[in-house]
Amino acid sequence: MINSPENQLTKADEQWRKSIPAQVFLNHFRGIDYHIRHAMPLSEVRHLESLKRFRPKQEEERVETTKKWLLNAWNAEYTLHSTAANPDENYQKYALHWTFPQAYYSVLYSVKAFLAIQGINVPAEALVRQIVNGYVVKGWYPTPIGFYADGPYPNYSFHRIQDQDEQALLQPLETPKQAEAHIVQFLKTTRNQRARISRQRLQANPAKALRTKSGKVLSKFGARHWEEVAKGMGATTYFDMMARLKISANQRELERFVEADVNIVQFHQSLLNIVKYLNFVHECYIVKALGVEKYTQWIDGLPPYLRDGFVKKRLQQGIRPVLESLMTKQTAQTS
């Protein structure tokens, strides 16, 4: 059979069609990455009122638990750095099997370290999610990552996002408006998933399930019923979006990404950039609590691959300038 131009076009179209879900997922994370890099410089973290007031007790048990979670976060982040730096695109494609969950767990462990320095130790990820999402709503995170959605399905409200009416396009994004459009779309689909899960959990509980007037467990939901579901959901934030990586890290989902015609190098870089930023924010709080000198002494005792790599670089080029600027400003205000 002759391989005609028409057949070639059909195969190309079919390959692109199969790649659409992966391209959308890439654009969602690319949107967060773009938004972080263009919305606000790192130094603006010093304006967070919660960081200015952050003075938890330096109890030994808190400090040791914080160190444990930071080491876990950094080791997961180290894997992301190594993968993103590998020039082999085929390697990067198959590396998604571990970089998807590693990106999520690096952020999870970083959050746990942030909570641990405050004396908050909760083993269940659902409780971690509930606490950190509350922090997002209260403004503990800088603007580039402080967005969230709340409200009942499907009438959500989006917060700290300017362009909420922009249509998220399939093409690779190139503008701040498109970045925000993909964040809104990602928040929406993520909250849709959480709403369905919350509904299933509610209706599976005989004591709490919503029922018809005749007493049967309700199967069709209207606006009033979705409002009841939303009461137990809390906000949807970056943490829920990163958790999508964990959910997607099963064989069927990942094979779709491996076979897709997408910019896998960009995908890895965007994941790494997001993780770096989130871990930086959490570490600003932790170093504020411990003090730069004490934190530096601990860093100096780490294994070389961490001590001489991104960990010390982030402290010297990001965290230390933020905290020094913060201290200078606070001293000027009290003098």
Going by pLDDT thresholds of 50, 70 and 90, the confidence category of residue 9 is very low
279-334 pLDDT, tens digit per residue, is: 999 999 999 999 999 999 999 999 999 989 999 999 999 999 999 988 776 655 55
78-90 pLDDT, tens digit per residue, is: 999 999 999 998 8
Query: Which residue shows structure tokens 């779709």?
Result: 256
Q: In the predicted model, is pLDDT for residue 251 greater than 60? A: no
Residue that wins the pLDDT comparison between 332 and 64: 64
Structure tokens at 323: 């905290």
Rounded to 5 degrees, φ, ψ at 148 are -165, 165
Nearest to 183 by CA among 23, 21, 28: 28
Report CA 170 to chain centroid distance, whole Å.
21
Going by pLDDT thresholds of 50, 70 and 90, the confidence category of residue 11 is low
Question: From CA 129, how far away is CA 249, in angstroms rounded?
Answer: 19
Side chain identity at 239, as an amino acid letter? F
124-137 pLDDT, tens digit per residue, is: 999 999 999 999 99
67-80 pLDDT, tens digit per residue, is: 999 999 999 999 99
Question: From CA 115, how far away is CA 282, in angstroms rounded?
Answer: 9
Nearest to 244 by CA among 190, 187, 182: 190
Structure tokens at 293: 């000198």
Q: In the predicted model, is pLDDT for residue 42 greater than 50? A: yes
Model pLDDT, residue 56: 95
Residue that wins the pLDDT comparison between 52 and 94: 52
Mean pLDDT of the chain: 88
Q: In the predicted model, is pLDDT for residue 40 greater than 70? A: no
Kindly report the number of other CB atoms within 10 A of residue 208's CB atom: 11
Percentage of the chain modeled with pLDDT above 90:
62
CA 74 → CA 127, 170, 189, distances in Å? 22, 33, 29
Model pLDDT, residue 58: 87
Model pLDDT, residue 333: 59
Mean pLDDT of 55-66: 94
- Say which DSSP state 141 is in: S
- Please check whether residue 78 is in contact with residue 309, taking contact to mean a CB–CB distance below 8 angstroms: yes
Mean pLDDT of 51-71: 95
Q: In the predicted model, is pLDDT for residue 255 greater than 70? A: yes
Nearest to 264 by CA among 102, 95, 105: 95
Model pLDDT, residue 335: 47
CA 19 → CA 13, 15, 171, 207, 261, distances in Å? 10, 6, 12, 44, 6
Kindly report the number of other CB atoms within 10 A of residue 218's CB atom: 15
Percentage of the chain modeled with pLDDT above 70:
89
Going by pLDDT thresholds of 50, 70 and 90, the confidence category of residue 214 is confident
